[in-house]
Every structure is written in structure tokens, then in C-alpha cells.
Amino acid sequence: MVDEELEVEETPVETFEVNYSCLRCGTTVSNTELSGLPEIKCICGFRVFTKARPPVVKTVKAI
């Protein structure tokens, strides 16, 4: 048998930086920090997060 080398192309995975804020204390954490923890919990112990919105206001033209 002939050993064949299989070339596997690795496609880069796009990761987006999303910031969340704790509902109780307001601490801002990123999704990479949350994914590194064993459980999704703030430093204050609360488990409810809201997605922090950017300060940019989008206007959509009506039809």
C-alpha cells in the first residue's frame, strides 16, 4: 500500500466580539471570557446577562 498524504484545508472561523453586561451589577464581560468559564456566571454570582448594544443609532427608511 502507498501512504498518501491527505491535505486538509483549515478554514478560519470568524469570531465576533460580543459584550454582555450583568443585570444586577452592570459588569461588562465579553463572550470569550464567558466561554472560558465552567458556568455562565458574573463575579457577583448573578446568572442573567443582557447584550450590550453599541451607541450607534441606525435609521431605516420607511417604504
Q: Which pLDDT does position 9 carry in this prediction? A: 66
Residue 23, H or E segment:
none
Q: Please give the Cα distance from 55 to 53 (Å, whole number).
A: 6
Q: Which pTM does this prediction carry?
A: 0.60
- Copy the grid coordinates of residue 37: 468559564
Alpha helices (H) along 1-63? 31-35
* Amino acid found at 46: F
pLDDT on residue 20: 93
User: What pLDDT is stored for residue 17 in this prediction?
Assistant: 84
Distance CA 52, CA 25 (A): 14
Residues lower than pLDDT 50 in the chain: none
